[in-house]
Amino acid sequence: MLRRLALALASASMLAAGISGSASAQGLFGSPPKASSGDKSPPATTAAPETSPADPAPAAPVLPGSPTAVVKPFYEHLGLELDPAQRNNFIDPAKSVLDKSDALRASGQGECLDPNIALDNAEYDKLAIDKSLRTIEAVNSGEAKVVVAFVVEGSQHRLEWKLKKVGGNWKIFDLLSVTGEWALSQYQCE
């Protein structure tokens, strides 16, 4: 019973995907039967030999003034997001959290934020990050999201930088870690 259900689901999935009879389907169910002498269809061909996966496509150039151009420096100069001189790249609620963190640090009462929040609090390994770093940008009217993904010591990390267009420039209003399940806007630095 379970085997018939699995076979039915596999068949339905293949039909829905439009790959019935393709090389992919042949790989799942074996080679197609050989044509009989009365069959006018061409003989079955074997699937192409497997090849190694291609290298990822080169990254598209970052356009000046784009949301990605605003985020990129935080990966070129790690820790930059905590530099008060960079506050012009942020708006509330992220700016308020960063300002409160600066005030807490200046008071000598300790730190509120990890010094490598752009790295999802991962170990600092710039070479590994540079090698695996990928970004994708999505813009919807006056808001944008830049998703940054990288691998450190075999662990995948993904962050979402959320931006709004203010006075013709993109400003960061939040930073979320998908893997670490935290958001900059949710920190209480007091």
Q: What is the mean pLDDT of each run of 10 residues along the chain (190 residues)?
A: 34 34 31 41 42 51 93 91 93 95 90 87 82 95 96 91 97 95 91
Question: What pLDDT score was predicted for residue 59?
Answer: 62
Question: What pLDDT score was predicted for residue 71?
Answer: 96
Question: What pLDDT score was predicted for residue 69?
Answer: 97
C-alpha closest to that of 71 among 163, 179, 187: 163
Question: What pLDDT score was predicted for residue 61?
Answer: 81
Question: What pLDDT score was predicted for residue 18?
Answer: 34
Question: What pLDDT score was predicted for residue 57?
Answer: 53
pTM above 0.75, yes or no: no
As to burial, measured by CB atoms within 10 angstroms (0-12 exposed, 13-18 middle, 19+ buried), residue 144 is buried
Residue 147 to residue 161: CA distance in whole angstroms: 6
Question: What pLDDT score was predicted for residue 111?
Answer: 85
